[in-house]
Structures are given as C-alpha cells and as structure tokens.
Amino acid sequence: MPKDYPRVLIFGQGFNTFSGGCVTLINLFKGWPKDKIASVVSNYEHVSYNVICDKIYGLKRWRYPISKLYKSRSGEINLEKLKLSKPNYKVTKNKRIINIIFKLFEKFGILPFLRIKKIPHGLLVWIKEFNPDIIYTQLADVNIAVMVSELSSILNKPLAIHIMDDWPKTIYRHGFLSFISRRRMEKYFLHLINKATVLMCISEYMAIEYQKRYKKNFLYFHNHVEISSWSKFQKSNWNIDKEIKILYIGRFGIATKKSIYDMVEAIQEININGYELLFEIFTPDYNMNLKRQFEKISRVRIHPSVPHDKVPELLSTANILFLPLDFDSSTRDFIKYSIPTKATEYMASGVPILVYAPKNIALTEYAIQNKCALVISTRDLNYLKNGIITLIEDSNLREKIAKNAMSLVEKRHSASIVRNEFREALFNGIC
C-alpha cells in the first residue's frame, strides 16, 4: 500500500455536491493533500465546493454565437473571489429562449462543434507549473477527449480514465449531424483507453461488460460513505406512525422524471384508501415552475436540495426512500451498468429502500442480489402501489432490507477501504 499521494490533474470535472459524478469525485479524493490536486473545469459556474482542491482552472466553453448567451472565461479561478451566488429558482424569459436555442442546436447535432477544444497556452503553462504525476478524467464529451489526448501527448504523463455511465454507447445519437461527433468520440475514446495506465468504471457490472466490449481490464470505484458520519442518524427502529413519509433526493429530469410522476400518482391513489402518505422531493433542479406544479398536488412537496452534509439527517426523517430510474430505452441504455451515487447513501441511512427501475440493469440486479431493497422492475402503477403497501404493512421486511443495506455498506462501500484502493490504483498507474 503506497504511503504517498501522487500529484493528480483532474481534467474536465469540477467539485460540487449536486452532480453524482462530482460527489463521487469528492469522496474519492477526500483527505488528499490539497497541494497535490489541480482541477481543470469546463464549467466554472458549477464550482461550488473547495474543500478538496484550491487550484482550479476554468476553460472558456463556447464559440460564437453560444458565447453571447453563456459567458465564460479562461484562466485560474480564485475561489475566494468567485461569487457563488444563491440559486435563482425563477424560470425567466431569457432562460426559456436560451433553452429553446439549445434544443434547436441539439436537434441538428451541432452543439459539439460550438464547444472550444483548443488548449489555451496559459492553461498549458499552468499545468506544467503544477507538474502532475498523472491525469485523471471522466471524459464524457468529445471536446474533453480531444484536449486530454493532446495534453497527455504534450506532457507525456500517465492517464487514468473513470467512466460513470455508459455514454460511450449512447452519446451523440440524436441530431442530423451527430454522427460526426459520434465517430470522433469513438476514435478518441479507443485511442485513450489504449493509452491509459489506469482504467476505472463505476460498478462491477460495467467492469465485466467493458472487459468484453473493449478487451481491457477495468477497476471499479463507486460512491462510498464515511460510516462515522452516518452512524448517529441510522435507523434502529422501523416502526411506522400513522403518517408515512416517502422521500426522494436527486435530479428531477432525464432518467428519473417519469418514474417520479408515477410515484406521485401512486401516492394519490393509495391515500384515497385511508393511508396518510407524504411524498417529499429534494432536488437541485428545483424551480418556481415545479414549485407551482406540485403545490396543486395533495401530500406531495418539492424542495431545493439540502447541503450534502445535511443528507444523513434528512434521510433519517423518512420511513421509505424512493430510488427511481426511468424505463424508456434511451435511459435504460445509458444507466444499464451504473448505480446511482445516492444508492450507497440510502443504504447507509438504514431507511428501507424502494427501487423502481428496469430489470436487468446494475441497480436492480445489485439490490436483488444483496436483498437490500424492495425492487419493482416493471413500470406498472399497480405493482408500484403494491410495493409501497407491502413495505408499509410488513415490518419484518422493512427491518430485514434495511439491516442488509447497512451491512453491505460497511463491507463494500466504506470510505476507509475504497479511498485506499483508489489511491493505490492511481499510484500503480504511475509506476
């Protein structure tokens, strides 16, 4: 086990607590000496967490005309001076116009052509001064892949790639000109995984699939938790009062929205039969339109996401935690080999988990195999309602799956174990 920490350049990924990939990144690098981490971010507006890393360089993202809509700058970010303003939940006219323009560009498949992919001279000087031992990247974007390829050649440094979702199979599939970006991405991705000294992915299921697909061995590192941060909030009593709270934390949009609406409908129908269910949603996608929409629905509330260090306490207030993924084919292909970041946090809470997601994907297979959640793997409102009622009525089941989940976290997702294995993987990638 190496005792020292390598100097790591994280390319293309910032630190925030509302993106699953970023939360995993924060947890993997927690405890790393700050002076041995530097980060190059493609969206400096999303840098909102500086406990891990102080040395951050922001890339200018867009060419004209997008640069007129989204202004960004290239250069080192001073986190003390960066104004991390409070979120604006209003959906303004300008935001609507910008969203329409972006959708048009997406329809034609030209967004990647409007991204800047040239490495600025100032960035190259900045990186050389930092002098990394290894470059770590999650890729997921053709322009990041182009820059990483160029950078690794210029610096002649080892490369570590960490895949969070199966975007190599699903990216750039829509839009008239998207085939151009898809072919370029495939070319650069194959080049980079052949060049990398460390290949990592998010789950064992993905590692098995990628070994078959790319004939390469992938390590897997999923999100993990510090048991000590959760122990005082973990459930030890699974009795249920008359009012039953079902809680969801996470994104409200692609990959989850349809299943969340199914839960909303299920809650309404179950409550007609004399139950008192309350469904609470905490999401970084909160805005005034969503607020107004859910204000009209009985026993459903939507809130902005809470600070990440408040999540253990928040989850402990629930009787059931809802873990949804949508059932459409595009979502299923994208998340087939992934396990959501929140899954380990849910398991650590000791609150019984209800998984509502397609069959034959990593999440449902993992939950079934380890008996750490009640799984509904068919999109059917009656199945979902029956699952909810089963958890409400069966106290033995609630206790069993909750205890299984807590035991699983301690054995496989403890920070003390995963961080050391991750550090060793990067260290071995240098040697």
Is residue 78's pLDDT more than 90? no
Is residue 200's pLDDT more than 60? yes
- Of the pLDDT bands very low, low, confident and very high (cuts 50, 70, 90), residue 44 is low
Give exposure, 25-36, as e/b (b: 16+ Cβ within 10 Å).
Answer: bbbbbeebeeeb
Rg (CA), the chain: 22
Is residue 19's pLDDT more than 80? no
- Of the pLDDT bands very low, low, confident and very high (cuts 50, 70, 90), residue 208 is very high
Q: What is the pLDDT of residue 344?
A: 96
Supply the angle between the helices 20-29 and 415-430 in degrees, to the nearest 10: 80
Supply the angle between the helices 395-412 and 362-370 in degrees, to the nearest 10: 110
278-336 pLDDT tens trace: 999 999 999 888 999 999 899 999 999 998 889 999 999 999 999 999 999 989 999 99
HEC readout, the chain: CCCCCCCEEEECCCCCCCCHHHHHHHHHHCCCCHHHEEEEECCHHHCCCCCCCCEEEECCCECCCHHHHCCCCCEEECCCCCCCCCCCCCCCHHHHHHHHHHHHHHHHCCHHHHECCCCCHHHHHHHHHHCCCEEEECCCCHHHHHHHHHHHHHHCCCEEEEECCCHHHHCCCCCCCHHHHHHHHHHHHHHHHHHCCEEEECCHHHHHHHHHHHCCCCEECCCCECHHHHHHHCCCCCCCCCEEEEEEECCCCCCCHHHHHHHHHHHHHHHHCCCEEEEEEEECCCCHHHHHHHHCCCCEEEEECCCHHHHHHHHCCCCEEEEECCCCHHHHHHHCCCCCCHHHHHHHHCCCEEEECCCCCHHHHHHHHHCCCEEECCCCHHHHHHHHHHHHHCHHHHHHHHHHHHHHHHHHCEHHHHHHHHHHHHHHHHC
Percent of the chain with pLDDT over 70: 91
Which two three-digit tokens encode residue 394? 């069966």
Do residues 139 and 13 make contact, with C-beta atoms less than 8 angstroms apart? no
182-194 pLDDT tens trace: 898 999 999 999 9
> What's the rounded mean pLDDT across residues 185-210?
96
- Per the document, the length of the chain is 431
Which two three-digit tokens encode residue 421? 């294995």
Among 315, 307, 340, 270, which residue's Cα sits nearest to residue 24? 340
- Of the pLDDT bands very low, low, confident and very high (cuts 50, 70, 90), residue 179 is confident
Residue whose token pair is 């000496």 = 33
- Of the pLDDT bands very low, low, confident and very high (cuts 50, 70, 90), residue 423 is very high
Q: Considering only 73-87, 122-136, 168-182, 364-378, which range has the smallest mean pLDDT?
A: 73-87
Give pTM, 2 decimals.
0.90
Do residues 294 and 302 make contact, with C-beta atoms less than 8 angstroms apart? yes
Residue whose token pair is 């084919």 = 329
345-403 pLDDT tens trace: 999 999 999 999 999 999 999 999 999 999 999 999 999 999 999 999 999 999 999 99
Residue 423 and residue 28: Cα distance in Å, rounded? 8
Q: What is the pLDDT of residue 1?
A: 44
Q: What is the pLDDT of residue 69?
A: 67
227-283 pLDDT tens trace: 989 999 999 999 998 899 999 999 998 899 999 999 999 999 999 998 999 999 999
Average of per-residue pLDDT values in the chain: 89
Could you give all domains of the chain from N- to C-terminal order, each with its CATH number? 8-224+414-430 (3.40.50.2000), 227-412 (3.40.50.2000)
Among 348, 367, 351, which residue's Cα sits nearest to residue 359? 367
Q: What is the pLDDT of residue 218?
A: 98
